[in-house]
Amino acid sequence: MAGILEGKVALITGAGSGIGRATSRIFAREGAKLVLADVVEEGVVQTHAMIGDTGGVSIFLKADVSKPGDVESAVAKAVEKYGRIDCAFNNAGIEGQSGLTHECTEENWNRVIAINLTGVWLCMKAEIAQMLKQGGGGAIVNTSSGAGLIGVSGMPAYVAAKHGVAGLTRAAAIEYGRHNIRVNAVCPGPIRTPMMERLLGNRPEAEQRFARGGPLKRLGEAEEIGEAVAWLCSDHASYVTGLPMPVDGGFLAQ
């Protein structure tokens, strides 16, 4: 039975770990041909190897999404290898340093915004331009966050960037819907990833307290985000666009 992304060409940023790696493996399972990008080369090489071990098709490159040239190279590599780009998951991101708004340094602010917001915009610019060149059609999913829909204390740059991603997603969906290019975002809640481990300090008791705060009483898994992204990029979601979709175990329903 063909997968829901059979034959589609997909670019995934932040593919070297966490949600990006899990999503890459799911896309491969569902039949997509992949271009994997990450600023940490070792991680993206490992993801590429995992996909190859299960019979998937992928190529990889080291890329910093805050650099326009790296982003353009990733899209160009997809076209060079596969002839087109059908969908993209703009997922690369960092949490930055914690601290209240008045404690946030300009350096931290600029770095988080550059990667988490400007990086998404640069990816969308290149991806949409290529999709239009192909005659239109395509699906883009950006990684926002639950912190892109509500306020969170102690992460001002991260919260601002993720709110920006949600807004940028809505704006692009309106602009390119007539070209049959759908643009959505996933807004993960507390997901078991290396980023979450850093935030919780590898303390099991902190994880348990955090998990108890949600209706499902657990952290989410990276694969649960990946399944949502795969659906949004597939033809099964053909009438869904402009949606920053919480995948958060019900945290925002409270």
Q: Which of 82, 158, 176, 239 is catalytic?
A: 158
Residues contacting 103, CB < 8 A, separation 6+:
none
Q: Regarding beta strands 181-188 and 9-13, do their DSSP bridges make them parallel or antiparallel, or are they unpaired?
A: unpaired
Residue 135 Cα distances to 67, 84, 129, 151, angstroms? 26, 11, 10, 39
CB 100 within 8 A of CB 106: no
What is the identity of the amino acid at 131? M
CB 44 within 8 A of CB 71: no
What is the rounded distance in angstroms from the CA atom of residue 171 to the CA atom of residue 94?
A: 23
What is the rounded distance in angstroms from the CA atom of residue 74 to the CA atom of residue 71?
A: 5
Is 158 in the active site?
A: yes
Residue 76 Cα distances to 130, 141, 207, 245, angstroms? 9, 19, 41, 29
The token duo for 184 is 């959505």
The residues carrying an active-site annotation are: 158
